[in-house]
Structure 1
Amino acid sequence: MIALVDMNAFFASIEQLDRPQWQNKPVCVTNGRTGTCIITASYEARARGIKTGMRLREARGLVPDLIQAPSRPYRYAQVSSSIMSALESITPEVEIFSVDEAFLDLTGCQSLYDCSVEEIGRRIKACVFEVSGLLCSAGISGDKTTAKWAAKKQKPDGLTIVHPYKARETLSGVLVTDLCGVGSGIGRYLAQYGVHRCGDMQKVPISVLGKRFGNLGKRIWLMAQGMDPEPLHKEVGVPQSIGHGKVIPPDTRDKTILRTYLLHMCEKVAARLRRYDFDAQLFSIGVNTPRGWVSKKLKTTTPTSDGDLIMALADFFLNVYWDEGERSHGVHQVHVGALDPRPRHGQGELFSEEDVKKEKLLATIDQVNHRYGEFALCKAPLLNRSEMPNVISPAWRPVGPRNTLES
């Protein structure tokens, strides 16, 4: 028995909760007061045509009385952490899937509750409401994929139960691309075999998908038939990458301004590496233009968590790759990522006295910023950094290296 808890318009709902005067009114959340793109919207706004990703100007044309709420990521993370902790009172088997979603494995708890599936679902929803004051939707089935699909069926404030023996039949008419993890690329591949809906999957041998996509392909074949074998993952492993990005004023061409934004991201990546005792040697530096991303993978001489060394790569990127004909295209987003984070193994005997001094300096800076807030102590150019608040990445978790909001 697997349940998926899905919060309803999570960020917007928190804004309405904290400001009762906004209840039952169209609210949208943007990245800061100057943000021009809608991150999410309340159900009142959605009912009037407002969608995630819509430009604020366009949205106001549709809904003149739309209320703009600058995002407050730390508040959202606080509420999410409280919810995830409370869900462990239902079952200790909880997988935090995102900031507003969690899987619960209730298989071993059914006899303890001694009640119907519907009652267990109501207890889950009541638990969330009690700790947060927010409504959620829940889906319950025998596997993760079907439970996640079910949770979307009755939003907001819904409870959908798909008994495992009915899962294949229930999913048969569902588009395969409606299943979590089946993107448009996989969808196009399946369409070549006449597979558009889950019920069509039986036309194709599991070996065909296995040969093309490996274990993921085999899992998708089973997912479409209500038999997703994927277990819950409670533990958060070592991250495959650690990165930070920032939306910047559209059509930015000034290299000095661009460098400030990249410096901001380099320092954030470096601080996060140090916080969890990681180093990295391979980094991705990128800028997003109307023509798409321009990015390069660059290496430092040795593994590092020093923002100065990462910024040296960013300067190289700007001077070599950005100046090669791309500078005429304005930038609207930057990103810096450590692609091979690895646990540190101590300083070693070859560290010079200067290296040791730098280590101590960085440790002191981290201590100050941890106590007084991110970038309370920073390089002078970062005084001109973006006022846009931090964002919660899809991989955010309350604890560990995927917590992108800790200072």
Structure 2
Amino acid sequence: MINPCPVIWDRAIIHVDMNAFFASVEQRDFPQLRGLPVAVTNGERGSCIITCSYEARAFGIHTGMRLPEARKLCPGLIQRPARPRVYTKVSTAIMQVLQEISPDIEVFSVDEAFLDVSHCQRLHGTPVRMARMAKQRVLEVSGITCSAGVGGDKTTAKFAAKLQKPDGLTVIPPWEARERLHHEPATSLCGIADGIGGFLAEHGACTCGEVGQLPVSVLARRFGNLGRRIWLMCQGEDPDKVTTGIPAPKSMGHGKVVPPNTRDPDVLLTYLRHMSEKLAARLRRHTLQAQHYGIGLRTRDGYIGLKLKLASPDNDAEAIFRLCRFVLTTHWHGEGGVPGPGQCPRPTTRGTTA
């Protein structure tokens, strides 16, 4: 339940999260898909689901699931190849219209953004009113809906945005955040994954309230400044600011899903050459060179990978591919790539540019 409050918030953050973004764009552009289960994959022959519509999610289908498995759950699932240029164009229009509400915007991903509206309250009204304004303007400029979360910090706002989907609006005022999060699993907050969650559980802290009962020094000794932030996040006091600038990339990478249980070295080399070309082109496009490269392959026996260094920084595809060939011939012994739950076999190349 939303209770707009006329009180000026000391700090007000809105998190805007598009609803099944890629699939929603497909349903917008192809009306015959509306109301139907749709899965977006990487190309016509892609077999790993990038995202899916809410109609598909009702069958238990989720991002990362392989298409054959998804079709067992939903035989009528409709596959759509991804159209990155279209999604980028829609995303750009959305981010531009959100800047009209507040110039303090952090583009968190292609379909998510944080807005710091703390200084806009006398201009536009309450944070709740601005969240409604954001939802309406996103709908007008894109033709698709979004969910919004409003809080006094980034983590609480992002947590709130996912509570009512699709097309939801949830408000957790800063003076209610600690109590609201108290019984929530710590891993339900963005940035606290299984690794950190496991450490917290070892110390008897599974919920946000239990994390708050730990001495902050326990987290600080293990995670440094991040530990202090985690402790505050669980109490609805995330100090992280909305970052409006986009830092120069420190690394660039490219990954590709291959057919399951692939054991043919020629197939893997073909994929690795393709990725080498893609990575090299991206480096050149940004006028960058890299000297340190990480190359790996996820198999059913674990992750096979190696970090290598060129004699000097380079952005030549052939130089990158030589590293890929070296890794494949020296560290791969015919292991097949078999995905686990929500995973796809995926060779990757990554170059460190800074």
Please indicate, yes or no, whether the TM-score normalized by the shorter chain is above 0.5.
Answer: yes
Deviations 1:353-397 (A, max 9, x none): xxxxxxxxxxxxxxxxxxxxxxxxxxxxxxxxxxxxxxxxxxxxx
- Rounded to whole Å, the distance in 1 between the matches of 2:229 and 2:334 is 44
Gaps of 5+ in 1: 343-407
1:166 partnered with 2:176: yes
- Rounded to whole Å, the distance in 2 between the matches of 1:87 and 1:137 is 14
Shift of 1:328: 4.8
Name the SS of the counterpart of 1:258 in structure 2.
helix
Shift of 1:196: 1.0
Equivalent residues in 2 for 1:350-365, closer than 5 Å: none
Moved runs in structure 1, 4+ residues, more than 4 A? none
Shift of 1:330: 5.1
Amino acid at match of 1:335: T
- Corresponding residue number in structure 2 for 1:197: 207
- Corresponding residue number in structure 2 for 1:270: 280
Tell me which of 80, 88, 99 is aligned to 2:91: 80
- Rounded to whole Å, the distance in 2 between the matches of 1:34 and 1:272 is 24
1:334 partnered with 2:347: yes
1:185 partnered with 2:206: no
What is the percentage of aligned positions where both structures have the same residue? 53
Gaps of 5+ in 2: 1-11, 339-344
Equivalent residues in 2 for 1:164-313, closer than 5 Å: 164-313=174-323
Amino acid at match of 2:348: H
Higher Cα radius of gyration: 1
Deviations 1:193-238 (A, max 9, x none): 2211111123211111111100110000000000000001111212
Shift of 1:35: 2.0
Shift of 1:294: 0.8
Deviations 1:95-150 (A, max 9, x none): 0101110000001111111x333321110101111110010000011100000000
Name the SS of the counterpart of 2:178 in structure 1.
helix
- Rounded to whole Å, the distance in 1 between the matches of 2:32 and 2:194 is 41
Equivalent residues in 2 for 1:141-160, closer than 5 Å: 141-160=151-170
- Rounded to whole Å, the distance in 1 between the matches of 2:161 and 2:264 is 46
- Rounded to whole Å, the distance in 1 between the matches of 2:281 and 2:71 is 39
Cα root mean square deviation, aligned: 1.5
Equivalent residues in 2 for 1:11-160, closer than 5 Å: 11-113=22-124, 115-160=125-170
Amino acid at match of 1:78: K
- Corresponding residue number in structure 1 for 2:327: 317
Name the count of aligned residue pairs. Answer: 337
Q: TM-score, normalised by structure 1?
A: 0.80
- Rounded to whole Å, the distance in 2 between the matches of 1:87 and 1:153 is 21
Return 34-43 or 276-285, whichever deviates more. 34-43
Return 257-266 or 294-303, whichever deviates more. 257-266
- Rounded to whole Å, the distance in 2 between the matches of 1:334 and 1:201 is 37
